[in-house]
Amino acid sequence: MFCSKILLNMETAKRKILVVDDNADFVGLVRRLLENKDFQVSVALDGKTAFEKVLSDDPEMVLLDLKLPDLPGEEILKRIKEINKDIAIVIVTGFGGEQVAVDLMRKGATDFLSKPIDREVLYSAINNALKIRDAQIADRNFERYPTLERFFPFLAHEIRNPLHAISGALAIIRRRTDLKDEILDQSIKIIDEEVQHLNEFVQECLNFVRPPNRVHFIEIEMNDVLSVVMNIISHIFESNANKIKVIRELDPALPKIVANYEEIKQAFLNIAKNAFEAMPAGGALTIKTCCKKKSPTHIEVIFSDNGGGIKPEDLKSLFKPFFTTKLRGTGLGLAISRRIIVERHNGKIQIESEEAKGTTVKIELPIGLR
Ligand SMILES: Nc1ncnc2c1ncn2[C@@H]1O[C@H](COP(=O)(O)OP(=O)(O)OP(=O)(O)O)[C@@H](O)[C@H]1O
Ligand SMILES: [Mg+2]
């Protein structure tokens, strides 16, 4: 099975959450809900035990009730952050506690929930908080990069924090607003979409400068990676996916390659996305894999679409960061793919295109690491 190591890791590495609340019934209920979703849960009924559990269980996230018998919520939040600033904290409040919760979001809490808590709202708040935590940790891993690229994480941090506050405030507005008012509903949706767009842009910038991680090189089957990529693509392009015919010419005898699975997946996702975006009215995408005959140490992957093609004068700029001809493009997709394929995997990427006819992207990757 391809990438079995990755799957194994995902299965074994349960995410750890500490639930802090003095109401034992509530704690029991939340524990069951979270264990059902495969989280590793520990609990504390007061502030003192919470600190002990933070030290002993090393949680990634704390669900923190504000009204505890021994210490005020703000004090607990502050001390947990002092022990480990990477712990995401989601505040749980009773009726009327929202004002304090909003205040605590300025002091490092990631989100808040009001009791009684709906199961789906709980899951989505937790997943969101963990995502934000992971992104913040990733933001810090860039020390060895040249000046311009070191600027990205700084920028990302400065953009993400206010975005995060906007999302939080928007969630409150949503809960308290009459969404039958169509204009208001539309306006909220616009803010939400634009915040999401900016978040994705920041993530793309960070992907671009992410340092290489040799530890994650494993044996992967390219045909399987491509299936995963196309599956993701069919979700992204849900509405017009059936207008595009995907023809697979995959060599069943393709040798495995040693590569970073996540990076390779990202590189091909960017390429496949471009092909789909080039065929808004439909078309065909052929994906071919083969072992290079002249150079049996390499595999070859070819994406050919019959979309709008690329202007001759644009061909030389395709791999430049921020080069885009799209209204909402970041222009980082191919720059990231090139960096992954060429710089991190010693491969090659080449693009040929004819306007109004279509585009062919050829990728070569070495089977073993050099
Ligand atoms: N298959 C393709 N067909 C036509 N044009 C393409 C294709 N692939 C890339 N391009 C051109 O190359 C440009 C750069 O692509 P790149 O993926 O780097 O950025 P983008 O798609 O514009 O934005 P994003 O960051 O969202 O990927 C595109 O804007 C487009 O003009
Ligand atoms: Mg793109």
Nearest ligand to the C-alpha of residue 327? 1
Ligand 1 pocket: which of 302, 320, 326 to mutate (most atoms within 8 A of CB): 326
195 & 140 share domain: yes
Residue 303 CA: which ligand 1 atom is closest? 1
**Residue 141: band (very low, low, confident or very high) from pLDDT cuts 50, 70, 90:** low
CA nearest ligand 1 atom 31, residue: 325
Are 355 and 308 spatial neighbours (Cβ–Cβ below 8 Å)? yes
Compute the average pLDDT of residues 200-220.
Answer: 78
Q: Which of 189-193, 294-298, 340-344, 365-369 has the lowest mean pLDDT?
A: 294-298
Residue 140 pLDDT > 70:
no
Q: The domain that contains 278 carries what CATH number?
A: 3.30.565.10
Q: What 3-state class would DSSP assign to 320?
A: coil
Does 275 contact ligand 1 (Cβ within 6 A)?
yes
Structure tokens at 77: 């939040």
Do both 309 and 264 map to the same domain?
yes
What's the pLDDT tens digit per position in 294-328? Answer: 768 999 999 999 999 999 999 999 998 889 999 88
330 lines ligand 1 (CB under 6 A): yes
What is the per-residue pLDDT for 7? 37
Structurally, the chain folds into a number of domains equal to 2
- Which of 64, 14, 10, 4 has the alpha carbon at shortest distance from 37? 14
Q: Kindly state whether residues 242 and 198 are assigned to the same domain.
A: no
**Beta-carbon contacts of residue 119 (< 8 Å; ≥ 6 apart):** 33
Residue 330, both tokens? 């970041």
Q: From the CA of 39, how far away is ligand 2's center (Å)? A: 35
Residue 284: give the domain boundaries: 215-366
pLDDT at 55 over 60: yes
Higher pLDDT, 15 or 95: 15
197 touches ligand 1 (CB under 6 Å) = no
Q: What is the dihedral of CA 98, 99, 103, 109, to 10 degrees?
A: 0
Q: Of 60-69, 196-205, 305-314, give the range with the top mean pLDDT.
A: 305-314
pLDDT of residue 211: 67
**Upstream peptide bond of 252 is cis (omega within 30 degrees of 0):** no
CA distance 312 to 332: 20
Which of 152, 174, 209 is a domain's end point? 209
Assess whether 164 and 236 both reside in one domain. Answer: no
Question: Which CATH number fits the domain that encloses residue 26?
Answer: 3.40.50.2300
How do beta strands 61-65 and 40-44 pair?
unpaired
Query: 365 forms bridges with which residues in the sheet?
Result: 299
Residues 236 and 145 reside in one and the same domain: no
pLDDT-derived band of residue 134, with 50, 70 and 90 as boundaries? confident
Quick check: CB of 337 below 6 Å from ligand 1? no
**208 alpha carbon to ligand 1 midpoint, in Å?**
15
Same domain, 204 and 221: no
Answer yes or no: do 41 and 88 share one domain.
yes
The reply to whether 15 and 133 lie within a common domain is: yes
Residues 222 and 342 in one domain: yes
pLDDT digits (tens, 9 = 90+) for 217-247: 889 999 999 999 999 999 889 888 789 999 9
Encode 150-210 in three state secondary structure.
Answer: HHHHHHHHHHHHHHHHHHHHHHHHHHHCCCCCHHHHHHHHHHHHHHHHHHHHHHHHHHHHC
Q: Is 359 in the pocket of ligand 1 (CB under 6 A)?
A: yes
Q: Whose CA is nearest to atom 28 of ligand 1?
A: 324
Q: Is the CB of 283 under 6 A from ligand 1?
A: no
The whole-number pLDDT of residue 6 equals: 36
308 close to ligand 1 (CB < 6 Angstrom): yes
* Å from CA of 337 to ligand 1 middle: 11
